[in-house]
């Protein structure tokens, strides 16, 4: 399938869904699923191909180019697959809610725009699709109104700031190189002065930094992720913020080029090291804040900021293994974080919108599949061996240690322990402990929610045991950037850069589990008892209150309290308030009296005359 | 020989771990002017637990305990015991650090499904304490890996054995002292036994465990004693060329841990974490800094 047809299909699916929503809800749902499935299948069929096509007559005299290579393919695949699964998840989630047709159309439009972003072959089409993506995302985030509107507004303002920076960067590049196509730009920029390359990196960095929620541009993400409808949170966290990662990869290793990027800065402190440090700061700040969250989706949102830090750390550290680790972690995170948001969404759906971690508990007995999916997702998030998150993090740690950045490795590793803490809190407070009586008749998640969760959970484990499958693509991307190949084997890598074989570790763990199970079997059997039949130091077990989940890490939170505030968000909030105040002041000059306006004109002319008399500039 | 290692190393670890458990009871008894039980008492207890009835709270309750033991068994296969090290080339120390997560995670899942607040409090304390000692521990482990420029434990041991003690090998001394300072926390010994405090929270995560569940938890506890000490001997004290010397080195380290344990009362969680983030972290940080400077 050619690229323009693919994009037309994606955009057409969105439009068709919107038209059909007025006619028949069932047909609309079917078309939405079929359209997203077709797009995913079409992207999958482009595996391993490198195509470049010019679109018709172009725009304002500039040619519009679409192209696909290993990098675009991986991102396009993630976008279309996660998009498709979230449409399936939405089927029950959105049933009975208002403006469903608008929701589906926008969801498919965001997916189509993201596809456009990764398939763009020149800066102009990149910018166009980027803008479509930004505003359709805004409409989706604020679907629910109320606090969601405020969250959407925050996102939109930060996003526009980023877009403006990007536009200036594009104009700068065009002025320097005289072209907008990536192939031409790369050749032009490698000859340009380091200052130009740094300027482009900073300007694009603001745009992509906002989108990928890297510190200090992360402030929009937590409210937006927690207020958006859950299936869209999965898309938002899974793939949309990864457009920023794509943008960074594009800027660093395609537009500026590996050599041009890694040689920027000073000998003692290269620019890419500064970026890696920003990634590390993102990890530690966001992990600590995630620990203190009591809203399931807000906790996941902060964890997304932290994981974006890992990805950013990997791709900007700039060794072959680190970049591979960063790209692989993008994929791992897309899968397990979409899974986790869906699990939180399923709980939210069944409990009637409860996201408060303090009021849930014991749901494992009612929603076992959702629990299993959430458990696998959290294991991926932590990076427990045999999940996809382990391999990508291992690659990043390995290169940080061997290539002499132990302190960055330390921050990344301690971030993992923070993840254990908030990951367990998420599992425990929702699924473990005592089941409150009001949830005694809770039904399991509907099939259309379980299916995407099960698929994603299987992928987490599959890519954890056989990381060679995604690593083959990641390795091809690395080679296209000019890095050495890693020597990919099905179980991991076996090259000069390092050796890891997940198949061996898988076998060892299976043997360990079987052995432990045999020892377990040897003992006398236990009687199955209910939750009320537990130890209460001789007293009766109080029903409904025998639960420990509020302030789960109280001692730690007391210690860390001064560090858990987010000064960046406070800064943006203050800035926003000042701008509002200033605008309010400016508004007062519009009095509506003609006499006042005549006075302004006279004053302005008088000022001009004064300037001319004193300095004679004209 | 390698196949044999797969059998020998878990068994040896188990024997050493159970011996240490017995030693602990004996040592504590003697410091309190009691006679104490025989050294093999923990073994008798475990066998007895296996025959006793117990209660189960569900599938994850069972699976968590199994996963916890399995995790520790696998970690043992990665740690050299003298010259015995069955799994050498599969990702090294980084994999060990991550596999060490399985044991607490399994226990936490099991305790969570038990639906007993004592267990949940114990788990919350266990993880808070872990965040406390992981900060210095990771700095220490990174110092060892950076010093010898490898992530393989076997290579770290080999490099230490090849080197004559001199100024270039000196930097790890600070890291070693830091390790000893956090050792009781790592092993869950008093003054850091906040997670299983019997008098406060009914043994925390173990509150609902009985019969074979308790037996598995005890076996896992024995293995975790072995892992914590063996990591020190391998990374900081050059390992050993044969299992006997290795065992003697472990005994010396454990005796030090017991001495600390018998001398101090239990700390509160905040006090414990504050201590761990102060002196041991400072020492470990300076240790890593020295290693980085010398490497330049």
Q: Which residues of A touch B127 (CB under 8 A)?
A: 420-421, 424, 553
Residue A496: inside a domain, yes or no? no
Q: How far apart are CA A162 and CA A265, in angstroms?
A: 23
Q: How far apart are CA A287 and CA A101, in angstroms?
A: 37
In terms of domains, do A581 and A598 share one? Answer: no
pLDDT of residue A497: 57
pLDDT of residue B165: 61
Share of chain A above pLDDT 90, in %: 16
Containing structural domain, residue B61: 2-295
pLDDT of residue A496: 59
Question: Closest by alpha carbon to A90, among A118, A115, A117, A111?
Answer: A111
B11: tokens are: 């068994």
Residue A612's CB is within 10 A of a number of other CB atoms, namely 11
Looking at beta carbons, which pairs linking B172-175 to residues 24 or more positions away fall under 8 Å?
B172/B143, B172/B144, B172/B147, B172/B236, B172/B287, B172/B291, B173/B287, B174/B283, B174/B284, B174/B286, B174/B287, B174/B290, B175/B139, B175/B140, B175/B143, B175/B144, B175/B236, B175/B283, B175/B284, B175/B287, B175/B288, B175/B291
pLDDT of residue B169: 60
Strand partners, A374: none
pLDDT of residue A339: 92
Q: How far apart are CA A459 and CA A279, in angstroms?
A: 26
State whether A531 and B65 contact (CB < 8 Å): no
Give the minimum alpha-carbon distance from B30 to chain A in angstroms, rounded to a whole number. Answer: 30
User: Residue A501: which of B90, B121, B207 has the nearest Cβ?
Assistant: B90
The nearest alpha carbon in chain A to B60 belongs to A364
Give the minimum alpha-carbon distance from B56 to chain A in angstroms, rounded to a whole number. Answer: 5
User: Residue A401: which of B98, B146, B270 has the nearest Cβ?
Assistant: B146
pLDDT of residue A78: 92
Can you give the pTM of this predicted structure? Answer: 0.89
User: Residue A558: which of B54, B151, B270 has the nearest Cβ?
Assistant: B270
What number is the average pLDDT over the span A19-28?
Answer: 82
Average model confidence (pLDDT) across chain A = 86
Whether A102 contacts A62, CB under 8 Å: no
Give the minimum alpha-carbon distance from A225 to chain B in angstroms, rounded to a whole number. Answer: 27
Taking only the tens place, the pLDDT of each residue in A380-394 is 999 888 899 998 998
Which three-class secondary structure state does DSSP give residue A193? coil
Q: How far apart are CA A130 and CA A308, in angstroms?
A: 19
State whether B113 and A432 contact (CB < 8 Å): yes
Asked if the model's pLDDT at residue A94 lies above 90, the reply is no
pLDDT of residue A542: 72
CB neighbour list of residue B116: distance below 8 Å, 6 or more residues apart: A534, A535, A536, A546, B207, B208
- State the residue for tokens 């745009």: A207
Asked if the model's pLDDT at residue A375 lies above 90, the reply is yes
Strand partners, B224: none
What number is the average pLDDT over the span A385-406?
Answer: 87
Q: Which residues of A touch B97 (CB under 8 A)?
A: 413
User: Residue B273: which of A413, A531, A559 has the nearest Cβ?
Assistant: A559
Residue A572: inside a domain, yes or no? yes
Residue A613: inside a domain, yes or no? yes
Give the minimum alpha-carbon distance from B263 to chain A in angstroms, rounded to a whole number. Answer: 25
CB neighbour list of residue A261: distance below 8 Å, 6 or more residues apart: A197, A201, A252, A253, A271, A272, A318
The nearest alpha carbon in chain B to A515 belongs to B70
pLDDT of residue A380: 93
Residue A611: inside a domain, yes or no? yes
Residue A567: inside a domain, yes or no? yes
- Side-chain-side CA neighbours of A437 within 13 Å: the count stands at 6
pLDDT of residue A325: 92
User: Residue B113: which of A364, A416, A501 has the nearest Cβ?
Assistant: A364
Residue A281: inside a domain, yes or no? no
Q: Which residues of B touch A555 (CB under 8 A)?
A: 125, 128, 268-270, 273
CB neighbour list of residue A174: distance below 8 Å, 6 or more residues apart: A123, A180
Q: Which residues of A touch B48 (CB under 8 A)?
A: none
pLDDT of residue A378: 93
pLDDT of residue B102: 87
What number is the average pLDDT over the span B29-51?
Answer: 88
Containing structural domain, residue A614: 589-618
pLDDT band (50, 70, 90) for residue A307: very high
Q: Which residues of A touch B200 (CB under 8 A)?
A: none
| A282 vs A617 pLDDT, higher one | A282
pLDDT of residue A498: 65
Instruction: State the DSSP code for B115.
Output: T
| B82 vs A507 pLDDT, higher one | A507
Taking only the tens place, the pLDDT of each residue in A478-503 is 888 888 888 888 877 776 556 777 88
pLDDT of residue A443: 85
Taking only the tens place, the pLDDT of each residue in A108-160 is 899 999 999 999 888 888 898 999 998 888 888 887 777 888 888 888 888 88
Share of chain A above pLDDT 70, in %: 99
What number is the average pLDDT over the span A530-543?
Answer: 73
Instruction: State the DSSP code for A67.
Output: E
Asked if the model's pLDDT at residue A556 lies above 60, the reply is yes
Output the CA angle B264-B270-B272, nearest 5 degrees. Answer: 35
pLDDT of residue A456: 93
Residue A354: inside a domain, yes or no? no
pLDDT of residue A516: 87
Whether A220 contacts A154, CB under 8 Å: yes
State whether A364 and B98 contact (CB < 8 Å): no
A200: tokens are: 């482009």
Q: How far apart are CA A607 and CA B121, in angstroms?
A: 73
pLDDT of residue B167: 52
In terms of domains, do A571 and A594 share one? Answer: no
State whether A407 and B288 contact (CB < 8 Å): yes
Give the minimum alpha-carbon distance from B37 to chain A in angstroms, rounded to a whole number. Answer: 24
User: Is ipTM > 0.85 here?
Assistant: yes
pLDDT of residue A379: 93
Asked if the model's pLDDT at residue B166 lies above 60, the reply is no
What number is the average pLDDT over the span A421-429?
Answer: 90
Q: How many domains does chain B have?
A: 1
Taking only the tens place, the pLDDT of each residue in B214-266 is 888 989 999 999 998 988 888 887 777 788 888 888 888 898 888 888 888 88
Taking only the tens place, the pLDDT of each residue in A313-348 is 999 888 888 999 999 999 999 999 999 999 998 998
CB neighbour list of residue B34: distance below 8 Å, 6 or more residues apart: none
Asked if the model's pLDDT at residue A306 lies above 60, the reply is yes
Q: Which residues of A touch B207 (CB under 8 A)?
A: 534-535
Q: How many domains does chain A have?
A: 2
Q: Which residues of B touch A557 (CB under 8 A)?
A: none
- State the residue for tokens 């809800």: A25
Taking only the tens place, the pLDDT of each residue in B190-207 is 888 877 877 777 777 888
Q: How far apart are CA A314 and CA A317, in angstroms?
A: 5
In chain A, the N- to C-terminal Cα span, in Å, equals 61
Go through B29-64 and write b for each residue having 16 or more CB atoms within 10 A of its CB, e for each that does not. eeeeeeebeeeeebbebbeebbeeebbbbbebbbbb
The nearest alpha carbon in chain A to B73 belongs to A512
Q: Which residues of A touch B206 (CB under 8 A)?
A: none
Whether A79 contacts A133, CB under 8 Å: no
Question: Closest by alpha carbon to A186, among A258, A133, A126?
Answer: A258
């Amino acid at each position: 399938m050619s690229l323009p047809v693919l994009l037309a299909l994606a955009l057409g699916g969105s439009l068709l869904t919107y038209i059909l929503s007025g006619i028949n809800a069932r047909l609309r749902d079917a078309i939405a699923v079929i359209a997203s499935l077709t797009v995913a299948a079409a992207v999958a069929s482009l595996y391993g191909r490198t195509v470049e096509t010019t679109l018709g007559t172009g725009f304002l005299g500039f040619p519009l180019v679409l192209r696909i290579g290993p990098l675009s393919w991986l991102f396009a695949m993630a976008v279309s697959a996660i998009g498709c699964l979230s449409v399936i998840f939405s089927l029950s989630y959105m049933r009975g809610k208002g403006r469903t047709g608008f929701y589906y159309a926008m969801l498919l439009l965001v997916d189509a725009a993201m596809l456009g972003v990764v398939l763009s072959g020149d800066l102009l089409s990149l910018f166009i699709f980027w803008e479509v993506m930004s505003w359709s995302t805004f409409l989706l985030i604020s679907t629910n109104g109320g606090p969601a509107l405020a969250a959407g507004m925050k996102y939109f303002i930060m996003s526009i700031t980023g877009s403006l920076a990007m536009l200036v960067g594009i104009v700068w590049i065009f002025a320097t190189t005289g072209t907008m196509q990536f192939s031409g730009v790369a050749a032009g920029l490698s000859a340009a002065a380091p200052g130009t390359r740094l300027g482009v990196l900073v300007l694009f960095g603001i745009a992509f930094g906002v989108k990928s929620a890297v510190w200090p541009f992360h402030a929009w993400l937590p409210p937006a992720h927690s207020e958006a409808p859950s299936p869209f949170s999965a898309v938002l966290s899974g793939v949309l913020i990864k457009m920023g990662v794509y943008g960074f990869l594009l800027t660093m290793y395609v537009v500026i080029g590996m050599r041009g990027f890694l040689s920027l800065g000073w000998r003692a402190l290269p620019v890419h090291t500064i970026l890696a440090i920003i990634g590390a700061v993102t990890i530690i700040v966001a992990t600590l804040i995630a620990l203190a969250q009591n809203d399931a989706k807000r906790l996941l949102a902060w964890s997304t900021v932290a994981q974006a830090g890992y990805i950013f750390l990997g791709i900007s550290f700039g060794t072959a293994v680190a970049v591979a680790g960063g790209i692989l972690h993008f994929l791992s995170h897309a899968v397990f974080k979409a899974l986790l948001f869906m699990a939180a969404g399923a709980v939210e759906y069944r409990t009637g919108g409860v996201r408060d971690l303090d009021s849930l508990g014991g749901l494992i007995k009612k929603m076992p599949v959702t629990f299993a999916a959430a458990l696998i997702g959290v294991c991926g998030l932590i990076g427990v061996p045999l999940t996809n998150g382990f391999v990508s993090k291992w690659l990043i740690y390995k290169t940080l240690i061997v290539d002499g950045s132990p302190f960055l490795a330390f921050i990344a590793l301690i971030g993992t322990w923070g993840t254990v803490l908030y990951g367990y809190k998420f599992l425990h407070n929702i699924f473990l402990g005592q089941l409150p009586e009001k949830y005694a008749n809770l039904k399991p998640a509907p099939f259309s929610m379980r299916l995407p969760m099960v698929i994603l959970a299987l992928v987490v484990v599959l890519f954890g045991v056989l990381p060679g499958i995604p690593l083959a693509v990641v390795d091809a991307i690395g080679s296209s950037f000019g890095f050495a190949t890693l020597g990919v084997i099905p179980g991991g890598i076996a090259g000069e850069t390092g050796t890891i074989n997940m198949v061996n570790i898988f076998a060892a763990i299976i043997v360990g589990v079987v052995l432990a199970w045999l020892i377990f079997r040897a003992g006398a059997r236990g009687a199955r008892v209910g939750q009320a039949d537990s130890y209460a130091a001789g007293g009766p077990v109080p029903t409904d209150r025998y639960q420990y989940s509020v302030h789960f890490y109280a001692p730690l939170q007391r210690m860390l309290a001064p560090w858990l505030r987010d000064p960046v968000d406070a800064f943006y909030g203050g800035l926003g308030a000042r701008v509002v105040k200033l605008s309010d002041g400016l508004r007062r000059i519009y009095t509506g009296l003609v006499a006042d306006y005549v006075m302004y004109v006279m004053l302005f002319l008088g000022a001009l005359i004064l300037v001319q008399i004193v300095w004679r500039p004209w | 020989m390698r196949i044999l290692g797969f059998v020998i190393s878990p068994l040896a670890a188990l024997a050493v771990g159970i011996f240490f458990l017995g030693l602990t009871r004996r040592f504590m008894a003697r410091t309190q002017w009691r006679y104490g039980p025989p050294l093999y008492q923990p073994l008798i207890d475990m066998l007895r637990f296996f025959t006793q009835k117990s209660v189960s709270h569900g599938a994850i309750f069972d699976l968590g305990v199994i996963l916890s033991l399995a995790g520790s068994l696998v970690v043992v296969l990665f740690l050299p015991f003298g010259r015995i090290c069955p799994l050498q080339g599969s990702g090294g120390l980084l994999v060990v650090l991550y596999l060490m997560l399985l044991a607490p995670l399994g226990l936490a899942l099991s305790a969570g499904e038990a639906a007993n607040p004592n267990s949940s409090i114990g788990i919350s304390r266990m993880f808070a304490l872990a965040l406390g000692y992981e900060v210095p521990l990771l700095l220490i482990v990174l110092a060892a890996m950076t010093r010898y420029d490898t992530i393989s434990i076997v290579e770290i041991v080999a490099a230490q054995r090849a080197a004559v003690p001199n100024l270039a090998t000196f930097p790890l001394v600070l890291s070693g002292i830091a390790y000893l300072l956090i050792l009781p926390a790592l092993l869950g010994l008093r003054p850091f036994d906040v997670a299983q405090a019997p008098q406060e929270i009914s043994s925390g995560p173990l509150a609902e465990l009985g019969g074979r569940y308790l037996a598995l938890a005890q076996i896992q506890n024995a293995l975790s004693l072995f892992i914590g000490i063996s990591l020190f001997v391998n990374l900081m004290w050059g390992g050993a060329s044969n299992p006997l010397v290795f065992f003697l080195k472990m005994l010396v380290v454990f005796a030090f841990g017991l001495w600390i344990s018998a001398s101090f009362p239990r700390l509160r969680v905040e006090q414990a974490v504050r201590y761990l983030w102060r002196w041991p972290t400072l020492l470990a940080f300076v240790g890593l800094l020295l290693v980085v400077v010398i490497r330049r």
